[in-house]
Structure 1
Amino acid sequence: MFAVTRVVLHGIIEDLSHTTYSQCGDADEAYDHLQSFEFVFILHLMKEVLGRTKTLSQALHKKPQNILNAIELVASTKVSLNDYKNNGWDSLLAEVTYFCHRHLIETPNMSAPYTSPRYRPHKKDIHVTFEHYYRVDLFTCTLDKQLHELNSRFNEHAMELLALSSSLVSKEINVDKICLLVEKYYPEDFTEQEMIHLRYQLGIFSVEKTKNTKLSGASTISELCKSLVETQKRETYYLVDRVVWLILTLPVSIATTERGLSAMKIFKNHLRNKVADEYLTNSLVIHIENEIAEKFDSESIID
């Protein structure tokens, strides 16, 4: 892909009969960047980072989630990125250097003072070598940001919440973990008497789960919720059902909300000079009211 892209750009630069001077200038600038050591270094670094996070990203985008597997995958991804940060510099530099030699791209002297090929050199540049720039400012900084992103999105509280939740779909239900989950994260959704009764209800439910194939076959929280409805056990184990529904709101309250806010941010950035906040708020309220009205109309038709 790299060689083909380089040939295409070179063809645009040389073929003045079918291109404008502006297009030739853009192609020439892109060709210079493509032929730089910094571009090749960032390209290989992106490949390594995306390769180590691709499995996690694909797993988290799946609708049916195995919480315990997701937790283990997040932890494994963190370990992989941290290990590459501590031990991957030499292999990355060797790979980039070999690639540059093969494509006749000039490689800098890593012990020489760093000077940017795109900007005028500053006085502080003489105190920074090329190795420091590429290793610290690019390599280490990029991996630190990736680890920080994972740690912020999957902090200790979120990981503990997911770990406690996974006990409901494990082979043997850990009653203490579920009760701790309710006491710690959902104290306002259960009265003191309901918390006491929940422990006994979980004990009976764990016994029946081992004997009921539909209940024991549930590998995710959503499947457990469906099996409670299909087996008509939802009313019997109403406290367990409530815990399941509270856990199911996690993806809605986290992922869906973030996607909605991101979409709104894009919309406002694109039309920020034409659309005011008040208009956006009113439009959003009207849209929600219309959605609710359509839902009730459809339900009335079905009835």
Structure 2
Amino acid sequence: MEHHYRVEIFTAAIDQQLQKLNNRFSEQMTELLILSALLNPRDGYRSFNIENICKLAEKFYPEDFLGDEKIHLQCELQHYGLDVPVHPDLKNPSTLGDLCHGLVTTGKADMYPLFDRLLRLVLTLPASTATSERAFSAMKIVKTGLRNRMEDEFLRDYLIVYIEKEIARPFMSRRSLILFI
């Protein structure tokens, strides 16, 4: 009985959770996340892999890196891999944001502009995706059949207030907030 609960049910629960995760993310999104994780500065840049970082730029950001820039990125990454991990101010950043900030404050962002560009593209990905998804979800709620003839400027202003309810809440009276929601 103990074996049944510890092994069989536990394994079934883990399989179910993995299945949910696999259904949530496409293969392309999973590959993007895996390749983006190579930029992680933790543990002394242990996951740093020049070939796969170049693959990230080539596959997911082809319009941001032109033909010659892809070759220059590979050379830049070789120098970066030797220089940055031993720099006293950049030895232990814990996040990509800390790394980006450290590159700017130490002036290394000017030495490695292509790597800095790739890092910023990866950092802005979650924010741009989440923001656009929230905006489209809000638009489905706001733009109903009754409000279908709303002008673009009014719709834009209304969506900003709707999406940023927490910021707008202190400025709205209780009655208008109830009507708004």
TM-score normalised according to structure 2 size: 0.69
Change (3 A) 1:222 1:284: farther
Change (3 A) 1:216 1:153: farther
Identity of aligned residues (%): 39
Change (3 A) 1:216 1:155: farther
Q: Does 1:230 align with 2:97?
A: no
- 1:169 touches 1:218 (CA, 8 Å); kept in 2? no
Q: Does 1:84 align with 2:8?
A: no
Letter in 2 for 1:258: E
Letter in 1 for 2:24: R
Can you list the C-alpha shifts for 1:25-82, whole angstroms capped at 9, x where unaligned?
Answer: xxxxxxxxxxxxxxxxxxxxxxxxxxxxxxxxxxxxxxxxxxxxxxxxxxxxxxx997
Q: Equivalences for 1:130-141 in 2 at 5 Å?
A: none
- 1:81 touches 1:147 (CA, 8 Å); kept in 2? no
Change (3 A) 1:262 1:217: same
Letter in 2 for 1:195: K
**Which residue does the alignment assign to 1:161?**
32
CA distance in 1, matches of 2:154, 2:64: 33
**Which residue does the alignment assign to 1:275?**
147
**Which residue does the alignment assign to 2:138?**
263
Q: 2:126 aligns with which of 251, 266, 270?
A: 251
**Which residue does the alignment assign to 1:57?**
none
CA distance in 2, matches of 1:147, 1:262: 26
**Which residue does the alignment assign to 1:38?**
none
- 1:201 touches 1:237 (CA, 8 Å); kept in 2? yes
Can you list the C-alpha shifts for 1:59-118, whole angstroms capped at 9, x where unaligned?
Answer: xxxxxxxxxxxxxxxxxxxxx9972287xxxxxxxxxxxxxxxxxxxxxxxxxxxxxxxx
- 1:201 touches 1:240 (CA, 8 Å); kept in 2? yes
User: What's the offset of the Cα at 1:152?
Assistant: 4.2
- 1:218 touches 1:224 (CA, 8 Å); kept in 2? yes
- 1:82 touches 1:147 (CA, 8 Å); kept in 2? no
Letter in 1 for 2:62: P
Instruction: Point out where structure 2 has 5 or more consecutive residues left out of the alignment.
Output: 1-8, 160-181
CA distance in 2, matches of 1:187, 1:242: 13
Q: 1:210 aligns with which of 85, 89, 102?
A: 85
CA distance in 1, matches of 2:14, 2:106: 50
Q: 1:201 aligns with which of 64, 71, 76?
A: 76
**Which residue does the alignment assign to 1:174?**
49
Letter in 1 for 2:154: S
User: What's the offset of the Cα at 1:253?
Assistant: 2.5
TM-score normalised according to structure 1 size: 0.43
Alignment: residue pair count: 147
CA distance in 2, matches of 1:284, 1:213: 50
Letter in 2 for 1:178: I
RMSD (Å) for aligned C-alpha atoms: 2.8
Stretches of 4+ aligned residues off by more than 4 angstroms: 285-288
